[in-house]
Structure 1
Amino acid sequence: MTTLSSTDVDWLVTLLAGVAATEIMPRFRNLGTGDVQQKTSAADLVTEADVSAERAITAALLKRFPDCVVIGEEAVADNPALLDGWSKTDKLAFVIDPIDGTFNFASGVASFGVMLAVVKNGETIAGIIHDPVGKDWIMAQKGSGAVLRRSDGQTSALTVAAPLGAVDRMIGSASWQYMDEPARSRVAGNLGKCLGSVAYRCAAQEYRLLAGGHIHFALYHKLMPWDHLAGSLITMEAGGYLRRLDGSLYQPADMDGGLLAATDADSWHLLREALLQA
């Protein structure tokens, strides 16, 4: 059971939409030359929208939950020590990715999302992913299933696709670009064994496709909590199977080991063998 009430969840949903409407969407396809900065590479960007959105979400969370812990992607970029021991707190911890898919956002491509996960005592208890363009949310609370909530308040259950039993019938996503060689070339080449692949450069949208039954897997190498905690919970609550590449459970404190999400355990093992083999 979570320590979030239905009123709290509704408030979080409204918060993400409100910040997206005021801080993100007015800047979409309207960024100035000084509004986009590189972090670690030309593919790793931060914009004024990321910073402003995270600042607004953080302030609202601290006002409603004064004793909470807030872990934001941009705050951690400025102060990596924020990640030290954060997941062990018995307080509510909110993990924010103000814009997942910043490269797309900065490029004017409408494939990005706002991600928020709630962690308590080392366990992810809620996850929300907001699509500011489509103006809806995918969301889950632990043990309660996953749903798509539309802007009119209507909800529908999310369910992963039926297992297919063969890799050459599956479509999915693999973020090989963050891997070191030789794994990088190996995974990129092995994707050809699948029926097809998608590359949204946006975990928020990839988890949406997986939890909604539109693709069959998603493989990730780089594990940052704001990128995967919300989506991993939503995927599992939609009936999917998600583990680190060594088969261990994915925990909020995990920062390495890769991550593979699939429709079921059998497909997970088939995909790990097919995508990672030399």
Structure 2
Amino acid sequence: MNIDRLAAILRDAAKAEILPRFRQLEAGSVETKSHAFDLVTQADQQAEIAITKAINEASPHMVVIGEEAVAANPALLSQSLGDETVIFIDPVDGTWNFAAGLPLFAVMASVVQRGETVAGVIYDPLGDDFLMTEKGCGAWHVFADGHRVRQKFAEPAPLDAMGGVASASYLPDETRREVMGNLAKVQMFASYRCAGHEYRLGAGGNLHFMMYNKLMPWDHLAGALMMEEAGAHVARFDGSKYEPHHRDGGLLIAPDAESWQIVRREVFTV
């Protein structure tokens, strides 16, 4: 499937199923999944249905795996996909923000061929623009009028001048306390509870590091490829390559290999 066609599918679903429900969610349309900050809304469910249907109609040979489909049937993630082309979908990334009326949410899709991420799209429904990438072609900010700007990750900086994002929610308690203490060594860190917008910040050169522990494919495959295409050094905590089948092992992103090693040693001592 052409990446522009995939982007248009995400945009259409957002306009039909997500934006009309923003700050208009009815009572009973928000459910809790694993904990109080892990939510699903009718917008997530209906957008995923719409996106899956549109992809199946346009490219019936592709396998579509969405976050909400996996929540209903976890076995979808353990199936052997072989040489299939798989599109992973996050219909509303940042659902907690969305449900709270906070305008920080995105729609994301990644394309995996033969076990390798080859393309990704992150759509901001409120800004009506995209981050888009294809392997080897750079990462691009694509505006509604078609104007495109190539993205570049931040240049290296001293540790005490770095700013970044860190999601420590899924770290063991003792490790989380240590990492949170170590973050005092950098100038600024935050968590926007929306990987899609965090990857947008990274691609635009606004972050020096990004850290995630739990690796669900719809959350990170598109963004990780975008950061690589924007010039960042991307690796799991042990230094190995992040691949679509990984669910744990963490993910750390920095401007270059040297910066990555500094942040890994001084901050994320997991």
TM-score norm. by structure 2 comes to 0.98
Match for 2:141 among 129, 148, 155?
Answer: 148
* Alpha-carbon offset, residue 242 of structure 1: 0.7
Contact 1:175/1:220 (8 A) holds in 2: yes
1:95-122: CA deviation from partner (whole Å, max 9, x where unpaired) = 0000110000000000010010000100
The equivalences for 1:55-204 within 5 A come to 55-86=49-80, 88-164=81-157, 166-204=158-196
1:167-222 deviation line (CA, Å, top 9, x unaligned): 11100011112211211111111111101012201100111111110111110011
Q: Report deviation, 1:92.
A: 1.5
Unaligned runs of 5+ in 1: none
Separation in structure 1 between the aligned mates of residue 83 and residue 236 of structure 2, nearest angstrom: 24
Picking from 231, 239, 262, the partner of 2:254 is 262
Whole-Å separation in 2 of the counterparts to 1:21 and 1:104:
18
Once residues 204 and 89 of structure 1 are traced to their aligned partners in structure 2, the CA distance between those partners, rounded to angstroms, is 28
Counterpart of 2:169 in 1: which secondary structure? helix
The answer to whether the aligner puts 1:205 opposite 2:207 as a matched pair is no
The 4+ residue runs of structure 1 with deviation greater than 2 A are: none
Tell me how far 1:89 sits from its aligned partner.
Answer: 2.6
Counterpart among 235, 245, 248 of residue 237 in structure 2: 245
CA distance in 1, matches of 2:58, 2:82: 18
Partners of 1:211 and 1:119 in 2: CA distance: 20
Q: Which amino acid aligns with 2:169?
A: Q
SS at match of 2:173: coil
Residue in structure 1 matched with residue 228 of structure 2 by the alignment: 236
SS in structure 1 of the partner of residue 12 of structure 2: helix
Count of residue correspondences: 270
In structure 1, distance between residues paired with 2:84 and 2:173:
40
Distance 1:184 1:277 in 2: 10
Letter of the 1:223 counterpart: L
| 1:91 Cα offset (Å) | 2.2
Secondary structure of the residue that 2:226 maps to in structure 1?
A: helix
CA drift at 1:277: 3.5
Cα deviation code 1:145-181 (max 9, x no counterpart): 11000000000000001111x2111000111122112
Q: Which amino acid aligns with 1:120?
A: Q
Distance in 1 (alpha carbons) for counterparts of 2:215 and 2:268: 17
Instruction: Specify every segment of 5 or more residues in structure 2 that has no aligned partner in the other structure, as ranges.
Output: none
**Aligned partners of 1:73 and 1:98 also within 8 Å:** yes
TM-score (structure 1 length as normaliser)? 0.95
- Amino acid in structure 1 at the alignment position of 2:172: D
Q: 1:30-69 alignment to 2 at 5 Å? A: 30-69=24-63
RMSD of aligned Cα (Å): 1.1
Q: Using the alignment, how far apart are the partners of 1:222 and 1:251 within structure 2?
A: 13
